[in-house]
Amino acid sequence: MTEKQPTALVTGADGFIGSHLVELLAREGYAVRALAQYNSFNQWGWLDTIDLRALGVEVVSGDVRDPTFCRAAMKGVDVVFHLAALIAIPYSYVAPDSYIDTNVRGTLNICQAARDLGTRRVIHTSTSEVYGTAQYVPIDEKHPLQAQSPYSASKIGADAIAQSFFTAFSMPLTIARPFNTYGPRQSARAVIPTIISQIAAGKRQLSLGDLRPTRDLNYVEDTCRGFLALSRCDEAIGETVNMGANHEITIGALLALIARVMGVQVEAVVDEQRIRPEKSEVLRLWCDNAKMVALTGHRPSVSLEDGLARTVQWFTQRENLAKYKTDIYNV
């Protein structure tokens, strides 16, 4: 008897990480259903840049804020990778209600549909921002949660909803907590695309925010393989698991590294609109990935230097750079 092809739903598939995860799952033999947020233009975000027909990917358009849609989209699915979320921290200061609606209620809708349908596995996406500024390093999964922005508060709430469905209903669910993912297709609101796109556009004085914070950077291919590893690990059910490189770098040092990769000399100019409120800035993130390694054996395989080189190569292609407005701060 031929083994049934596993079916995966990726919410947020039209976004940066989601679109890469769709490609990986298709290459790994999954029948992939990709959820793109509905719009009247029938635009599918980064999925529009992928040969979906060759990969056999099915795209559905909808909104995780609608429970009826979530239930319909998840029918017949073995595993759900729930990535759909509002993630821009600056915009969460402006429109916090929308973060609760999408991140918290959207997660509730996915979990409730999974419970009703008996979905075999749910991977819920968290974020290292829930930890806030490190109280100790490296940060393990026992670190206190600190809501230093409406975004991080909404993700703490979403994580709690997800965990409650495991605790109350024995849902086969894992909370994946990636630290800072970067790579091709990342939004211009993030620091690495901000730096690369400005340099590629010919600027040598770069508009940036605070250069002091540290981040633990993970290439998008490694993040996606981490999602896949967790979905195949029964020991990870009911667990929250960090995904990161176990290495920190300041934004200032990152700027210097990217400039070296691109072969230019640059100067950072502080742009006040890019500075978070004083108590809201997360000053230090450094991932303890020991639990991930112990459970799945997965370790990042792409070094920061190699990942940045790949990212620079993608951003400096004319058709890709044209998608970014380097003169406008992307909230």
Q: Nearest to residue 171, comparing CAs of 108, 238, 232?
A: 238
Angstrom distances, CA of residue 84 to CA of 167, 197, 295, 331: 23, 25, 25, 18
pLDDT at 1: 43
Residue 316 near residue 263, CB atoms below 8 Å: no
Asked if 8 contacts 81 with a C-beta cutoff of 8 angstroms, the reply is yes
> Which tokens is 205 given?
């004085």
Query: What's the full length of the chain, in residues?
Result: 331
Helix (H, G, I), strand (E, B) or coil at 178: strand
Tell me the pLDDT of the chain (331 aa) as tens digits.
457 899 999 999 999 999 999 999 999 999 999 999 999 999 999 999 999 999 999 999 999 999 999 999 999 999 999 999 999 999 999 999 999 999 999 999 999 999 999 999 999 999 999 999 999 999 999 999 999 999 999 999 999 999 999 999 999 999 999 999 999 999 988 999 999 999 999 999 999 999 999 999 999 999 999 999 999 999 999 999 999 999 999 999 999 999 999 999 999 998 888 889 989 999 999 999 999 999 999 999 999 999 999 999 999 999 999 988 877 777 7
CA–CA gap between residue 149 and residue 239 (Å, rounded): 24
CA separation for the pair 228, 215 (Å, rounded): 23
Q: Domain 7-185+217-244 carries which CATH code?
A: 3.40.50.720
Tokens of residue 229, six digits:
């590893």
The C-alpha atoms of residue 289 and residue 320 are separated, in whole angstroms, by 32
SS3 6: coil
Q: Of all residues in the chain, what percent are helix, strand and coil, respectively (each to 5)?
A: 45, 15, 40
Count CB-CB contacts under 10 A for residue 210: 15
